[in-house]
Amino acid sequence: MNSWLTHHTQALKLVIARFQQNLFSNLFIALTIAVSLALPMIVYLVLSSFSGLVSTIKSDSHLSLFLKQDATPTMIDSIHNTLATREGLKQFHFISKEDALKQLMIDNNNQDIMSTLTENPLPDAFFIEPASLDSAAIQQLKEDLSQLDGIETVQVDDAWLKRLGYLLVLGKKAIFILALLLGFALFTVIGNTIRMQILTQQEEIEVSQLIGATHSFIRRPFLYSGAIYGLIGALLALIITSIVIWLFNLSVSTLAAEYQTDFSLHLPNFNVFLITCITAISIGLISAYIAVSKSLFKSIN
């Protein structure tokens, strides 16, 4: 156990010393890795923030029941009683066509239009907030209410939110594809870097093989190099992502204030930090292992 720990400690110290000798070039390589990691992370955090916003807005979604122009007070009372006893409704309220017209007339922008009307074109309407936001439940509620006598149209006001939800799902799939493509780019960057290190230390490797060094002993420092590249790249990616999100929030907060909301983009949390580090270190280890194994196989042949 002590021998194993000593070997790993010596390999780690050797890698750190070599890293310090070429500090600036190694930092540029780590920065390249960081940018590749930061791009999907930023897109993920933006989509995640908007997904939370959509869920919040859905809580305010409702159905609009527009009555026929010839709907009688008896029909209106019947619909009101049906809604009052209907399960699955959180609340509802009625707006008569007279009140709707008065509201339009209060708005100065509609004065010219109102002056040309000979009769009230607006219908009586019930506005309903469902207790459940399940799509199937809302669709069933819409179909049931459409059968009521005196109902002209039942409109679900969150249709645009569904479309936005579909776009968010599409965006998440795009993130997955982007992450895969950038993952291959990281394999290439780290793999080529390790191969360059192997070429510069080829004589040292050959001497080590002549005196009986095992493949594990030769491979170990390069594995640590790959892991360190991945770790430093992940840490820099989190810093870059946090700065970008913070800059976005400076503009988003101003826009959100106009709509009287406190919406802001999420900063990377611990789970994002952990997944990013594990992913980057794993890519570094795998790419380094492949690069060293190919080199050892060639030297054997």
Q: What is the pLDDT of residue 2?
A: 66
Q: What is the pLDDT of residue 251?
A: 76
Q: What is the pLDDT of residue 118?
A: 63
Tokens 């936001």 -> residue? 133
* Claim to verify: residue 188 and residue 211 sit in the same structural domain: yes
Q: Which of 135, 157, 179 is the last residue of a domain?
A: 157
- We report the CATH number of the domain holding residue 152 as 3.30.70.3040
Q: What is the pLDDT of residue 241?
A: 92
* Claim to verify: residue 179 and residue 291 sit in the same structural domain: yes
Q: What is the pLDDT of residue 161?
A: 57
* Claim to verify: residue 120 and residue 170 sit in the same structural domain: no
The C-alpha atoms of residue 283 and residue 6 are separated, in whole angstroms, by 25
* Claim to verify: residue 53 and residue 68 sit in the same structural domain: no
**Would 300 be classed as within a structural domain?**
no
Handedness of CA 187, 188, 189, 191 (dihedral sign): positive
Q: Which residues of the chain have pLDDT under 50?
A: 59, 300-301
Handedness of CA 103, 108, 113, 119 (dihedral sign): positive
Q: Which of 103, 126, 157 is the last residue of a domain?
A: 157
**Would 301 be classed as within a structural domain?**
no
Q: What is the pLDDT of residue 173?
A: 83
Q: What is the pLDDT of residue 151?
A: 85
Q: What is the pLDDT of residue 237?
A: 93
Q: Which of 108, 136, 157 is the last residue of a domain?
A: 157
* Claim to verify: residue 71 and residue 26 sit in the same structural domain: no
CB-CB contact of 299 with 209 (8 Å): yes
Handedness of CA 82, 85, 88, 89 (dihedral sign): positive
Q: What is the pLDDT of residue 274?
A: 92
Tally of structural domains, the chain: 2
Helix (H, G, I), strand (E, B) or coil at 269: coil
* Claim to verify: residue 44 and residue 185 sit in the same structural domain: yes
Range of the structural domain that residue 84 is part of: 63-157
